[in-house]
A and B are shown apart, each in its own frame.
Chain A
Amino acid sequence: MEIIEKIKTNKSDNNLTEIQKICLHKLQSSPLPNPKNELWRLSNKSKLSNFLDYSVNEKDSKFDIPYPKNSQSTIRLIIGENCQIKLIEKNYSIQQLSKDELQKYIKEQISFFKQNENWSDLLNLALSCKNNILGLKINGSKIPPIEIFSHASSNSLNAKTLVIFLEKNCDVELVQVNLGKENSSLSQSTFFCLKENSSVNHGVVSYGENRSNILNSLNVIQQKNSAYNLGSLHFKFNYARFEISIKQSAGNAKTNIKGMQITKKDEQISTYTKIEFNGPNGFLDQINKSLADDKSHAIFEGSIIVPKIAQRTDASQLSRNLLLSNLAQIDTKPQLEIIADDVKCKHGATISQLNEEELFYMRTRGITLTEANKLQLSSYFQEIISFIPISKDKWDLLDKLLNEN
């Protein structure tokens, strides 16, 4: 693993940014996460080392965007390409963060990082060069939808970083698409800071091709009265890890998460979420769905942390899983850690297969087994997909998923 060797030796390179140096230094003593750590225990070791097998590529080739830009008003950005942006309109403005702002914010985040918990972010920031970091400051209302693409080229590892500040009272729809090419690794870290009264509908769609890998991490800080809605979908990766950390810094905020992961062949896809309430009156509604087929392995671990200060928190978390093959595996672990007493917290988890009674019903009505299965899956997928802010005529995700299955 060339990258790990590089981290270990830590040759000072003048081209490195200060942040890269800090992260490399942090990783130096133990460049890999501890496989015994709860967050990495189930992670497939050989797949993780496969992720790290490719050499770092700072420039990437052109790629095909999965759907055309059919509206002039949509703002489309591609991380890594020269995306200078400065839009100042009547109602809104979108500008790049200054170097100082970016550095200050990332440095502050790094100071909270822990070796195992934030290993993906540390690796990302250690590898992500200046050109592959995009920082945006969004202000105003009636902002056209924003699309941000990030991709990895074949036979290489690409690290991309996105930092977004949503200013006060701002309201936006943002779709992030992460694409993995054949035999590639993508390290994508996103930092989101939602100021007071802001709200975002955030969609994250990640999919790969043959043997592509992704480490996708999302760090969100929500200030008072902000609303964060996340719809996410991960599929077709040899190895994928989606780590979500959301902090309601002063409570009084709303978080809705609907996520889905689909694994086939011998893939492993995992989702780790950590939601912390650091103030009263927080709200969370989370659902995570997994579907595991063939010899694949789907993992979900979600923790909800409610300290003493977070009175009147209302949090619910549901993990629903479909296990479709004898050789597939599902692990799920929803967790609650609660100290405040005046709270409503609940979680649930189910693992089962497609409902046989439903199947029987449809077949008695003359629907073929394949069709009936498709119908069942589409209803399973629909709940999540409808939450991703991307219109059906633009990109029919459901159709894509059903055809892939």
Chain B
Amino acid sequence: MVNENLVKDVVKEPYKYGFVTDIETEKIEKGLNEDIIKLISQKKEEPKFLLDFRLKAFKKWQKMKEPDWAALGYKKIDYQDIIYYSAPKQKEKLSSLDEVDPKLLETFDKLGIPLTEQKKLTNVAVDAVFDSVSIATTFREELAEHGVIFCSISEAVKNHADLIEKYLGTVVPTSDNYFAALNSAVFSDGSFVYIPKGVTCPMDLSSYFRINSGDSGQFERTLIIAEESSSVSYLEGCTAPMFDTNTLHAAVVELIALDDASIKYSTVQNWYAGDEEGIGGIFNFVTKRGKCLGKRSKISWSQVETGSAITWKYPSCLLLGEESVGEFYSVALTNNLQQADTGTKMIHIGPKTKSTIVSKGISAGNSKNSYRGLVKMGTKATGSRNYSQCDSMLIGDQASANTFPYIKSQQPNSEIEHEASTCRISEDQLFYLQSRGIEFEEAVSMMVSGFCRDVFNQLPMEFAAEADKLLALKLEGSVG
């Protein structure tokens, strides 16, 4: 048996992004009603179509019921006890990054996010979102030279209203689900990306989401459009301070890929997960969906989910275009009292579509980690293929790992393969590594990282290294 005492001695690493930035913020009153929505829309100086969009979504949301089918348990959320708009007070219009409150820049510096443009070496353009608003987007001029639009969604509403009107809500309709409807009604900010025809985005784009205030929810909305033969790699990171209350995060991400376009969307989610007793932490209810509209288009989701008290997230692909490809690579780690119900949906509609699912779940402590996925072959999906692999690793005998794959086929000329396995850290391997002088903790983290390798290989380089470290940190003290 793995030596339990040894494990208990291991020092636990605290959540290092748990600080709060002391900054003056503008908040609206708690609660949700039509007036609040109108107020948000007014603050953001939105055109009428968007206000109508919000109000329509709100009406639908009021008639909907919070889903209860996921293998999650949490106390009821009081939607009237949340602040739906919170923004750091700053000058009306920012002409350059120098005008951004230094405290905000400092915050992002502390988080390791380079906002100052001198740090060009990193070659990643960043859109930083703080509570409800985007505070800065870097490398905009360089991107504009290539015709790439990368800005906050509020700016896009003002400057590219036609694109927003055309695409917003086309992948995730307002009535899609309870949390998507809520987001559509109150979304505050997020990123907008438009890659014109034939352009390969010259650098990775990235959004960094930071929740700072404890009583406001974050409802961001991301929309990425890749025109014909274009390609983009987009990264997303998130952190939040430690509060002993739960904060709601309900985001919607929509991706659209036209003919021969490809979008790679990577996430490292490290929201505050609550303490060991399960107090506090973010409720992460996210709807992410990509539409492969064009022929030979490709959407690839890769995610490393380590944070949040509760994760409810199913990044999906609608494979409409002929020969379009959907991919989903995921590592979900839960520790202490975290709960995650995550997976993907691959809906094969067009002919010769292909999808791959690789999901690795690691459950430690008293946590609960479920994979829930749907693979569906429609009647027209001739010659389509799916391959899914879901592996779970259990650390300790208090954690649970569940697998719920839903597989549905209406097309005989297609193939679906699914396999799932459960294992634990092998004592033989552990013994082998330890006998070679490798510390116990390091041996465990080597094995975990080996377990996740298939997914890490799909992450952009900067992220892969970070993800590896993150897992090691999160697991410290949990093996036994």
Q: Which residues of A contact B (CB under 8 A)?
A: 38, 308, 311, 321, 323-353
Contact = CB atoms under 8 A, between A and B. Distances in A.
B400 A339 contact: yes
B412 interface: yes
Q: Is the interface of B mostly helix, strand, loop or mixed?
A: strand
A335 B409 CA distance: 18
B416 A352 contact: yes
B401 A336 contact: yes
Nearest to A308: B397
Contacts of B401: 336, 338-339
A340 B416 contact: no
Contacts of B250: none
Contacts of B397: 308, 311, 339-342
Contacts of B416: 349-352
A323 B423 contact: no
Most central of B69, B402, B407, B416 by chain A CB within 10 Å: B407
A341 B69 CA distance: 25
A247 to B, nearest CB: 19
A336 B412 contact: no
23 contacts: A308-B397, A323-B411, A325-B412, A326-B379, A328-B410, A328-B412, A329-B410, A331-B406, A331-B408, A333-B405, A333-B407, A335-B405, A336-B420, A336-B422, A339-B394, A339-B401, A341-B399, A343-B394, A343-B422, A346-B420, A347-B419, A350-B415, A351-B415
Contact of A348 (B396, B409, B420, B423): B420
Contact of A333 (B396, B406, B411, B422): B406
B354 to A, nearest CB: 15
A168 to B, nearest CB: 31
A263 to B, nearest CB: 13
Given A333-B406, A348-B417, 6 more contacts: A328-B412, A330-B408, A333-B405, A334-B420, A348-B420, A350-B416
Contacts of A351: 377, 407, 409, 414-416
Contacts of A353: 412-413
Q: Which 6 A-B pairs have the closest CB atoms?
A: A341-B394, A349-B418, A346-B421, A323-B412, A345-B422, A351-B416
B398 interface: yes
A347 B412 contact: no
Given A338-B392, A338-B400, A339-B400, A323 B419 contact: no
Tell me what chain A mostly uses at the interface: helix, strand, loop, or mixed. Answer: strand
A327 B410 CA distance: 7
Contacts of A348: 417-420
Contact of B418 (A331, A344, A345, A350): A350
Nearest to B392: A338
B426 to A, nearest CB: 10
A342 B424 contact: yes
A50 B187 CA distance: 48
B359 to A, nearest CB: 13
B408 A344 contact: no
B249 to A, nearest CB: 27
B138 interface: no
Contacts of A38: 69
Nearest to A337: B402
Q: Which of A341, A344, A350 has the most CB atoms of chain B within a 10 A radius of its CB?
A: A341
B337 to A, nearest CB: 14
B403 interface: yes
A37 B244 CA distance: 35
Contact of B395 (A328, A331, A338, A341): A341
A321 B410 CA distance: 12
A348 B407 CA distance: 11
A351 B407 CA distance: 9
B431 interface: no
A344 B400 contact: no
B432 interface: no
Contact of A335 (B398, B402, B419): B402
A352 B405 contact: no
A348 B391 CA distance: 11
A352 B421 CA distance: 21
Contacts of B409: 321, 323, 329-330, 351
B79 interface: no
A339 B369 CA distance: 10
B404 A333 contact: yes
A332 B377 CA distance: 12
Contact of B407 (A326, A331, A341, A344): A331
Contacts of B400: 337-339
Contacts of A330: 407-409
B421 A345 contact: yes
B360 to A, nearest CB: 14
Interface in B410-457: 410-424
Contacts of A321: 409
B405 A341 contact: no
Contacts of A340: 394, 397
Contacts of A344: 422-423
Interface string B21-51: 0000000000000000000000000000000
